[in-house]
Amino acid sequence: AAGVIQSPRHLIKEKRETATLKCYPIPRHDTVYWYQQGPGQDPQFLISFYEKMQSDKGSIPDRFSAQQFSDYHSELNMSSLELGDSALYFCASSPSGTSGSDEQFFGPGTRLTVL
Query: H-type helices in the chain, by residue range?
Result: none
Q: How near is the Cβ of 49 to another protein at its closest, in Å?
A: 12
Give me the residues paired with residue 94 across strands.
31
Nearest to 4 by CA among 103, 73, 89, 60: 73
Residue 43, interface with another protein (CB under 8 A)? yes
- Taking CB under 8 A as the criterion, the residue among 45, 52, 60, 86 binding another protein is 45
Is 92 a binding residue for another protein by CB under 8 A? The answer is yes
DSSP codes of every residue in 10-38: EEEE-TT--EEEEEEPPTT--EEEEEEE-
Task: Identify which of residues 44 and 79 has a Cβ nearer to another protein in the complex.
Answer: 44
Residues that bind another protein (CB under 8 A): 4, 33, 41-43, 45, 48, 55-58, 90, 92, 98, 100-101, 103-109, 111
